[in-house]
Amino acid sequence: MPGKWNNSAAGLSRSHVLPASGAETHSPGDFYGLHAPVLVLNASYEPINVCAARRAIILVLKGVAMTEEENGHFLHAARLAMRLPSVIRLLEYRRIPHQTRALSRKNILLRDRNTCQYCGEFMASGELTLDHVVPRSRGGASSWENLVACCHSCNRRKGNQLPIEARMVLRREPRAFNLHTSRHIMRLMGRSDDKWRKYLFY
Ligand SMILES: [Zn+2]
């Protein structure tokens, strides 16, 4: 169902009247539409996550969350036009355990800000892989402390070696990704988004 959505009117400002469907063309705004980051607040207004607009819309349509701020772009589907959210809030309070987040590729890339931890290059998620600092073949665990974002060329170069053997240096000591880390990242992301600011800087 969400696959049917398209965002042909992205780029319109809120003051514009909606154009007749089909009158617009797809633009770079498409990226900005469904993939734009949306700040997710708990029912208590506490910021808890960042998700893509597409997921946020599903949460709103399911009645799980409501839109607190809009991003000024529209989503068109059939005869429905919907304003895309910039901030949503869950209608029911969710207890967020103050422990580390789930260990996943997505969260490791988020923690490392899509930056190869050896050469420091920023890349799209699809171009990064995960590197075991201490290789698995040498007893390295799949843990927050032993996994880092890594580009393919650094990964090949390192192979089955320890960083020191490959003469490579980690940019940062890998640590568990806790709520504090995620708040910090939300703040960094929110710096460019005025609408996030009031929820993040309290
Ligand atoms: Zn690299």
The secondary structure of residue 116, as a DSSP letter, is: -
Q: How far is the CA of 186 from the centre of ligand 1 (A)?
A: 25
Q: How far is the CA of 152 from the centre of ligand 1 (A)?
A: 7
Q: How far is the CA of 118 from the centre of ligand 1 (A)?
A: 5
What digits encode the pLDDT tens for the residues 38-94? 999 999 898 888 888 989 999 999 999 999 999 888 877 777 778 889 999 999 998
**Lookup: tokens for 172:** 């940062």
Q: How far is the CA of 63 from the centre of ligand 1 (A)?
A: 42
Q: How far is the CA of 100 from the centre of ligand 1 (A)?
A: 26
CA–CA dist 46, 73 (Å, integer): 25
**Lookup: tokens for 175:** 């640590």
pTM here is 0.51
Instruction: Write the CA distances from 60 to 18, 54, 88, integer angstroms.
Output: 21, 10, 8
Residue 202 confidence (pLDDT): 53
What digits encode the pLDDT tens for the residues 148-200? 999 999 999 999 999 999 999 999 989 887 766 777 777 777 777 788 888 88
Query: DSSP of 46-97, one letter per residue?
Result: -EEEEEEHHHHHHHHHTTSEEEEEEEEEEEEETTEEEEEEEEEEESS-----
Q: How far is the CA of 137 from the centre of ligand 1 (A)?
A: 21
Beta bridge pairs of residue 74: 83
* Least confident stretch, 11-25, 107-121, 152-166: 11-25
The secondary structure of residue 127, as a DSSP letter, is: G
Query: Residue 47: left (phi > 0), alpha (psi -120 to 50), or beta?
Result: beta
Q: Which helix (H) or strand (E) holds 34?
A: helix 29-34
CA–CA dist 127, 51 (Å, integer): 20
